[in-house]
Amino acid sequence: MTGILSLRDVTFHANPLADRAIKLALPFGLGALLLLVLYLTRSYQEFLTLAGLLFVYLVPPAGKETVIPVGIGLGEPWWLIAACTVTVDLCCSLFVALNLDLTLKIPVLGPFLGKFMAGGRAFLDARPWLERLSTAGLVVFVIVPFQGSGGMNATILGRIMGFTAQRAVGCVLIGSFVSSYAIALGADAVIGLFREDPTLGLGALGLIALLIVGLWFLWKRYASSLDCEG
């Protein structure tokens, strides 16, 4: 656990207080910048809607598969709501990667992440293919909806796998980008069909559901075979 808590691979300033200030300013500053951009470029009502959706996204069990379709259904552009979720994932990943020691002291969140860290090694031992795939494995972990596969837990998992903070954050960013925009494009297409013809929308939704179930079973079989090989 000591190796995970060591943040010497990311040092911005020789002074510990200044270094900590920078590490805290990066994720919070990026989040504040996102809100400022939304406030300046969207109507006030849209800003409130997007801010509310992003707040919900931060609170489990809501995820991309919920927040993104709801946002699009409320009239937000698919690319915008996807960009927002990617930015939130990046903020969370940066916060944990740079401030893990402080994160563990946060009420409710700290104990939750502590339990994940305690079980992290067991999680990897049960899925040896994740560690064998290295960077690609962590990206897949972010894309595929495992329980607890959000930006925070994925960053910690990357640290347990021996990744530097930069590498773990990079994996989260790539995985979040792929999953967010895939969900947004699919949701936008289905909602568009619903508005044109509810029957077409239902048919498309059914096909997507069957496709997801089929892919999920194929993935489970593939992952199980990799686990057995491990």
Number of residues assigned to the chain? 230
CA distance 132 to 124: 10
**Domain encompassing residue 50:** 2-229
CA distance 193 to 206: 13
pLDDT 10s digits, 24-62: 999 999 999 999 999 999 999 999 999 999 999 887 777
Look at the chain and report how many structural domains it folds into.
Answer: 1
Burial grade of 208 (CB within 10 A; 0-12, 13-18, 19 or more): middle
pTM value is 0.82
Instruction: Write down the pLDDT at residue 55.
Output: 92
Let me know: does 90 contact 169? Beta carbons within 8 Å. yes
pLDDT 10s digits, 165-208: 899 999 999 999 999 999 999 899 888 887 777 777 677 777 77
Smallest CA-to-CA distance from 55 within 102, 93, 91 is with 91
**Amino acid, res. 102:** L
How crowded is residue 205: how many other Cβ atoms within 10 Å of its Cβ?
A: 15
